[in-house]
């Protein structure tokens, strides 16, 4: 896995006392507690942790652990370019980059991701165990196995984040499916077109815009714009990616275009958001 070593890090460490770590400019950091107990603090908000708990951390130095029992941490850190540089896998880069953007846009970094279903917890644990087994292997398929397992973990996270739509009738469940599709393909313009959506969800091309606006209380264009701006806000606050790069990845002309959209629709400038992070 030499050619992707700079794009992903897998580390297991046992600590009795937390110390600040040198962290690369990662897009994501996943943490799985293999054993131990204590309190996690992110941006000065705390929550308890124990064996088999699972967290997603933002790019922030304001996180720490108060360890009450010796704790073994399992860290997976990867950059936004990880899936793009994979070889010999069937993973669709645009699909997964959309999913990554959706997660960072709607994940609540203050409260984390709480798994109250033991079945979900067990499933995530098994996926981490696969990565744990394969991380030191030299087999050709190890890279593919790790990538697909990581993709599965992200699928579980994104499914937990799927935003509910205000639907008053059962007949509108299709709208919830449309919203979920848009959220998880937000940077793939081809999959956001009216032609594609109308064919995928079996709605007349001429009628689709009217259907979406009547049931979502906003136009398709407005919803896509709002979703992209929410993602931009969290990427500006929780990553160190340049504004220009964030703008291009979300379909804006440049950083100035994104900044104007943030001011117009959310009343906040990118510079203010970056200061909030610091």
Shared-domain flag, residues 156 and 174: no
Shared-domain flag, residues 122 and 232: no
- Among 110, 132, 161, the domain boundary falls at 161
Query: Can you give the pTM of this predicted structure?
Result: 0.76
pLDDT at 271 over 80: yes
pLDDT digits (tens, 9 = 90+) for 30-69: 889 999 999 988 766 788 888 888 887 766 555 788 999 9
Nearest to 20 by CA among 48, 53, 62: 62
Task: Give the count of alpha carbons within 13 A of 87, CB side only.
Answer: 6
pLDDT digits (tens, 9 = 90+) for 243-262: 998 999 898 999 999 999 99
pLDDT at 228 over 50: yes
Which pLDDT value is given to residue 16? 93
In this prediction, residue 213 has a pLDDT band, given cuts at 50, 70 and 90, of very high
Q: How far is CA 1 from CA 9, 117, 138, 143, in A?
A: 11, 34, 8, 6
Rounded CA separation 149/132 (Å) = 11
**CB atoms < 10 A from the CB of 241, how many?**
17
Please give the mean pLDDT across all residues of the chain: 82
Which pLDDT value is given to residue 278? 52
Shared-domain flag, residues 155 and 183: no
In total, how many domains does the chain have? 2
Which CATH number does the domain housing residue 49 bear? Answer: 2.60.120.280
Shared-domain flag, residues 15 and 140: yes
pLDDT at 115 over 70: no
Residue 263 belongs to domain spanning: 170-277
Shared-domain flag, residues 13 and 111: yes
Shared-domain flag, residues 237 and 259: yes
**Phi, psi (rounded to 5 degrees) for 44:** 70, 15
Shared-domain flag, residues 66 and 150: yes
pLDDT digits (tens, 9 = 90+) for 119-178: 777 888 899 999 989 888 877 788 888 888 988 888 888 777 764 444 444 456 788 889
Shared-domain flag, residues 44 and 79: yes
Q: How far is CA 44 from CA 40, 47, 64, in A?
A: 9, 10, 9
Shared-domain flag, residues 29 and 85: yes
Shared-domain flag, residues 185 and 151: no
Looking at 21-177, which runs of residues are DSSP E strands? 28-42, 45-49, 54-57, 63-78
- Among 161, 186, 206, the domain boundary falls at 161
Check: CB of residue 191 under 8 Å from CB of residue 181: yes
Shared-domain flag, residues 9 and 122: yes
Which CATH number does the domain housing residue 201 bear? Answer: 1.10.10.60
Nearest to 147 by CA among 191, 192, 87, 99: 87
Shared-domain flag, residues 183 and 124: no
- Among 139, 161, 183, the domain boundary falls at 161
Which pLDDT value is given to residue 88? 65
């Amino acid at each position: 896995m030499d050619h992707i070593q700079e794009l992903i890090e897998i580390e297991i460490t046992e600590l009795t006392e937390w110390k600040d770590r040198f962290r690369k400019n990662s897009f994501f950091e996943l943490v799985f507690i293999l054993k131990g107990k204590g309190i996690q603090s992110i941006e000065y908000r705390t929550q308890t942790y124990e064996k088999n708990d699972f967290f997603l951390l933002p790019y922030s130095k304001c996180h720490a652990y108060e360890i009450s029992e010796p704790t073994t941490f399992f860290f997976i850190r990867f950059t936004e370019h990880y899936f793009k540089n994979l070889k010999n896998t069937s993973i669709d880069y645009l699909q997964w980059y959309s999913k990554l953007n959706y997660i960072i846009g709607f994940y609540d970094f203050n409260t984390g991701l709480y798994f109250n279903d033991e079945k979900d917890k067990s499933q995530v644990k098994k996926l981490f165990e696969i990565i744990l087994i394969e991380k030191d292997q030299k087999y050709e398929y190890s890279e593919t196995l790790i990538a697909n397992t990581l993709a599965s973990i992200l699928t579980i996270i994104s499914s937990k984040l799927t935003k509910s739509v205000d639907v008053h009738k059962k007949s509108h469940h299709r709208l919830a499916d449309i919203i979920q599709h848009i959220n998880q393909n937000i940077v793939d313009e081809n999959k956001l077109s009216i032609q594609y959506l109308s064919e995928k969800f079996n709605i007349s091309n001429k009628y689709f815009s009217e259907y979406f606006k009547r049931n979502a209380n906003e136009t398709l264009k407005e919803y896509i714009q709002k979703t992209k701006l929410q993602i931009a806000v969290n990427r500006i606050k929780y990553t160190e990616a340049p504004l220009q790069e964030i703008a291009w990845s979300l379909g804006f002309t440049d950083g100035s275009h994104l900044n104007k959209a943030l001011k117009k629709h959310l009343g906040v400038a990118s510079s203010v958001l970056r200061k909030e992070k610091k």
